[in-house]
Amino acid sequence: MESEYQNNTYITKSLKFLYNTVSELSRFNEPVDAKIIMLEELGSVYALGLYNPPIKQPAFWTLLTTVLDTEHQNTFNEFVHAIKSHIADEGVLTLHIEKSEFIEAIREYYSIKLIETLKNCPVNSEFVYNKPRVERLKIIINQLEQSHSLDLSGRVLEICCGNGMATAALSELDIRPLCIDNDSYSILEGLASEVLKPEKTIVANVAELTDVIKGEEFDASIGFMLGDIDEFNRPSWKEILIQTIKLTKKGGNLLFTFRTEPEVVFVKDLLEELATGDVICQSETESLYDCWIYIGKKKPV
Ligand SMILES: C[S@@+](CC[C@H](N)C(=O)[O-])C[C@H]1O[C@@H](n2cnc3c(N)ncnc32)[C@H](O)[C@@H]1O
C-alpha cells in the first residue's frame, strides 16, 4: 500500500485505507464473500493481504503492514479484526511467518519495484564495477583484519552504499551487508548491475535509520566514502553517524572511509564518547577514493 519502503515506518495511507474498508464493510449485515490473508507472529497480526478479483485487470493482492510502524500496531490490529469479523470464515487464512523473513520480502519487493519504475533510465554497469578500487578495498580490509582485528563475519550494515561500487569488494570477500542509501538512482544502478541484492537493499534516509530498521542490530557497521562533509551539512552527517552507532552492537566493528582528512577527523571527534578508534591515512598517492580511514569499535558501555 505504501509507495516507498520508508513510508512503512509511518503508515498513514494504509490506516486511511483500512478505515475506509471497515466503514464500507459495516454496511453489510451478512458475512461478505471475500479473501484475506493475515500474517501473525506471537499472536499479533502485522500484515494483511486483501484479494482483488480480476475485474477489468488481472487479480492482485493489496498488502498492508505495520511491521515497521510499531506505533500503529494496536490500531492496525483493531482494523484487521474489524475486517475479519465481516468476512466469511472460509475466506480468511492466517499464516505464521517470522517478521524478519517478511521484512526481507518487502525489501525485495521495493527493490524490484524501483527497477521496474526506472527501467528506462540508462545504467552504466562498467562504471559501477571499478576493479582497481575493488582490489584496493579488499587489500585494505584484509590488512585491517590483521592490524585492528576487524571482524566482518557477522551481520554487517553498509550505510550510504551509493551504487554499490564498494559493496562489490565486500561481496568478493563473501560479506553480504544490508545496504542503505537515500539516492534512488544510485541504488537502481547498483541493483541493475547486480552488486546490490534486492532483499538486502533499502532506499531510505540514514539519518532516520532507527525508524527504518527495527529489531535488528549489527556486528559491524561500514560506510565507504562518507561525504562530502562540510560545515553546512555536518548536522546531517552527525545524525547519520549517531543513528548508525545506535544500531551497532556493543563492541561491534566500525569502518568508515573518506576522501579528506578534515572529514575523518570530524567523525573521530564526533564518536569519541561512543567508540574507540584510529585514523589511518591509507594512501598519499590516491586522491579520490578511500584515502582516509576510521577503524574502531563501539564502546562496550
Ligand atoms: C560519496 S558517495 C559514496 C557512495 C559509496 N559508499 C561508495 O563508496 O562508492 C556518498 C553517498 O552517501 C549518500 N547519502 C548522503 N546522505 C545520506 C542520507 N542522509 N541517507 C542515506 N544516504 C545518504 C549519498 O546518496 C551517496 O550515495
Residue with grid cell 583484519, as numbered in its chain: 145
Give the integer Cα–Cα distance in Å for 182 and 138.
Answer: 25
Confidence label for 125 from pLDDT (cuts 50, 70 and 90): confident
In the reported structure, the alpha carbon of residue 227 is separated from the centroid of ligand 1 by a whole-number distance in angstroms of 7
Residue located nearest, by CA, to atom 3 of ligand 1: 225
Q: Which domains does the chain have, with CATH numbers?
A: 5-97 (no CATH), 125-298 (3.40.50.150)
Residue 38 predicted with pLDDT over 80: yes
Q: What number is the average pLDDT over the span 30-45?
A: 94
Residue located nearest, by CA, to atom 4 of ligand 1: 162
Reported as a single tens digit per residue, the pLDDT across 153-191 is 999 999 999 999 999 999 999 999 999 999 999 999 999
Under a CB-based contact definition with an 8 Å cutoff, are residues 218 and 156 in contact?
A: yes
Length of the chain: 301
3-state secondary structure of 218: strand
Residue located nearest, by CA, to atom 14 of ligand 1: 160
DSSP 32-95: B---EEEEEETTEEEEEEEEE--SSS--EEEEEE-TT-GGGHHHHHHHHHHHHHTB-GGGEEEE
Residue with grid cell 486511511, as numbered in its chain: 16
**What's the confidence (pLDDT) of residue 214?**
86
- Which range has the worst mean pLDDT, 22-36, 118-132, 209-223, 231-245? 118-132
**What's the confidence (pLDDT) of residue 126?**
87
Burial label for 286, CB within 10 Å (0-12, 13-18, 19+), is middle
Reported as a single tens digit per residue, the pLDDT across 82-122 is 999 999 999 999 999 999 999 999 999 999 999 999 988 88
Q: What is the mean pLDDT of the chain?
A: 95
Give the integer Cα–Cα distance in Å for 300 and 274.
Answer: 9
**What's the confidence (pLDDT) of residue 301?**
81
Residue located nearest, by CA, to atom 11 of ligand 1: 160
- The model's pTM is 0.95
In the reported structure, the alpha carbon of residue 31 is separated from the centroid of ligand 1 by a whole-number distance in angstroms of 51
In the reported structure, the alpha carbon of residue 24 is separated from the centroid of ligand 1 by a whole-number distance in angstroms of 44
Using CB distances shorter than 6 Å, the residues near ligand 1 are 160-162, 165-166, 181-183, 186, 205-207, 224-225, 227, 236, 240
Written as nine digits, the cell of 224 is 565507504
CA 38 vs CA 3, 75, 80, 95, 104: distances in Å: 21, 15, 8, 6, 18
Residue 124 predicted with pLDDT over 90: no
Pocket perturbation via mutation, ligand 1, pick of 181, 229, 259, 291 by most ligand atoms within 8 A of CB: 181
In the reported structure, the alpha carbon of residue 161 is separated from the centroid of ligand 1 by a whole-number distance in angstroms of 6
Residue 299 predicted with pLDDT over 90: yes
Pocket perturbation via mutation, ligand 1, pick of 136, 158, 182, 264 by most ligand atoms within 8 A of CB: 182
Residue located nearest, by CA, to atom 27 of ligand 1: 162
Residue located nearest, by CA, to atom 25 of ligand 1: 183
Residue located nearest, by CA, to atom 15 of ligand 1: 160
200 vs 123: which has the higher pLDDT: 200
In the reported structure, the alpha carbon of residue 88 is separated from the centroid of ligand 1 by a whole-number distance in angstroms of 49
Reported as a single tens digit per residue, the pLDDT across 240-298 is 999 999 999 999 999 999 999 999 999 999 999 999 999 999 876 767 899 999 999 99
**What's the confidence (pLDDT) of residue 152?**
98
